[in-house]
């Protein structure tokens, strides 16, 4: 009888032990499953954020390209219209045509847009020059063909001219409008787009200029250095420069104090070279 009771007790204890082991393994398995789920969820969220950042930047690039094309086509039409106007005056005397050409550029309400050069092939005399290149005729013409986009030519006997809008002028117009476009964008969670212009790809002091920064507009125009640290001592500008030099784009993180807050948080950033 005692042996039978002892057996029952041992069986009961063994059953309890097995139950405890099963419960422990279940809880452990649940904890592992939860950990894996949280890690996978976090990875999914980060991947979605990265995709959103990349798409946002690429869409901005497309808008800038479209803006550049629009400006180029506008100035191309203006240049062609001015060329047609000059052709309508080819019956003027040489002196009258030179005066008309000069007047059209000197008295234009938007004279800073235009670059113009007029010369006499027979006498090799420069008749009008707004280019400021200070070169001989052939060198000036060849140079203007490189820097003007678009450009047009006009010819009247031995008198020839070239005029147009410089690529640099169009670039400045596009930069100004693109900057205004970027500053006007609003995003949740204190997100924003900013633009740094790299002027020295070797890095170091004053390697870049902060051109657009919607959250820190008072810092626009300041120089940046690759030895600048974030709050945790990282070198985000150096990491960014090395990444775009290697692959043209990269994701990276750095720490910063949030705007209007003392809280320090980690920022996921996507940078791409344009």
Residues 6 or more apart in contact with residue 25 via CB below 8 angstroms: none
Let me know if residue 8 belongs to a domain: no
Instruction: Identify whether residues 100 and 163 lie together within a single domain.
Output: yes
At 102-154, the pLDDT tens digits run 999 998 777 789 999 999 999 999 999 998 888 899 999 999 999 999 999 99
H helices, E strands: number in the chain: 5, 9
Give the pLDDT mean for 199-212: 96
Min mean pLDDT across 30-34, 36-40, 153-157, 267-271 is at 30-34
Residue found under tokens 């209007």: 260
Let me know if residue 176 belongs to a domain: no
For residues 235 and 10, the model is more confident at 235
β-strands 249-257, 264-272 pairing? antiparallel
HSE-CB of 54 using CA atoms within 13 angstroms: 11
Q: Would the pLDDT of 91 be above 90?
A: yes
Let me know if residue 178 belongs to a domain: no
Instruction: Identify whether residues 73 and 159 lie together within a single domain.
Output: yes
- Give me 226's structure tokens: 């690759």
Instruction: Identify whether residues 111 and 202 lie together within a single domain.
Output: no
Is the backbone peptide bond immediately before 150 cis, with ω within 30 degrees of 0? yes
Over pLDDT 90: what percentage of the chain? 65
- Give me 130's structure tokens: 């707004």
Residue found under tokens 């008198």: 159
At 151-194, the pLDDT tens digits run 999 999 999 999 999 999 999 999 999 999 999 988 887 788 99
At 44-53, the pLDDT tens digits run 778 888 999 9
Give the pLDDT mean for 30-55: 76
CATH number of the domain encompassing residue 195: 3.30.450.20
Q: Print the domain residue range for 259.
A: 191-272
Instruction: Identify whether residues 230 and 154 lie together within a single domain.
Output: no
**Tally of domains in the chain:** 2
- Rounded Cα distance between 50 and 42, Å, is 12
At 70-89, the pLDDT tens digits run 999 999 999 999 999 999 99
Q: Which residues pair with 196 in a beta bridge?
A: 210
Let me know if residue 257 belongs to a domain: yes
Instruction: Identify whether residues 79 and 161 lie together within a single domain.
Output: yes
pTM for this structure?
0.75
Over pLDDT 70: what percentage of the chain? 84
Instruction: Identify whether residues 116 and 164 lie together within a single domain.
Output: yes
């Amino acid at each position: 009888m005692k042996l039978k009771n002892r057996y029952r007790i041992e069986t009961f204890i063994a059953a309890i032990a097995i139950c405890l082991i099963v419960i422990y393994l279940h809880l452990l398995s649940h904890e592992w499953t939860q950990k894996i789920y949280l890690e996978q969820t976090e990875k999914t969220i980060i991947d979605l954020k990265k995709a959103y950042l990349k798409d946002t930047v690429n869409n901005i690039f497309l808008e800038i390209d479209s803006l550049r094309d629009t400006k180029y086509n506008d100035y191309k039409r203006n240049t062609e219209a001015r060329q047609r106007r000059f052709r309508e005056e080819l019956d003027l005397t040489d002196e009258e045509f030179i005066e008309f050409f000069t007047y059209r550029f000197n008295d234009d309400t938007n004279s800073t847009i235009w670059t113009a050069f007029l010369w006499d092939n027979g006498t090799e005399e420069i008749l009008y020059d707004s280019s400021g290149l200070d070169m001989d005729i052939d060198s000036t013409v060849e140079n203007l063909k490189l820097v003007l986009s678009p450009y047009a030519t006009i010819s009247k006997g031995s008198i020839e001219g070239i005029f147009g809008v410089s690529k640099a002028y169009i670039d400045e117009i596009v930069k100004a409008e693109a900057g205004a476009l970027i500053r006007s964008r609003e995003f949740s969670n204190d997100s924003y787009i900013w633009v740094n212009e790299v002027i020295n790809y070797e890095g170091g002091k004053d390697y870049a200029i902060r051109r657009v920064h919607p959250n820190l507009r008072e810092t626009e125009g300041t120089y940046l250095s690759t030895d600048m640290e974030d709050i945790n001592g990282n070198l985000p500008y150096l990491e960014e420069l090395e990444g775009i030099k290697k692959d043209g784009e990269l994701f990276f993180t750095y720490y910063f104090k949030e705007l209007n807050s003392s809280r320090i948080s980690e920022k996921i950033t996507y940078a791409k070279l344009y």
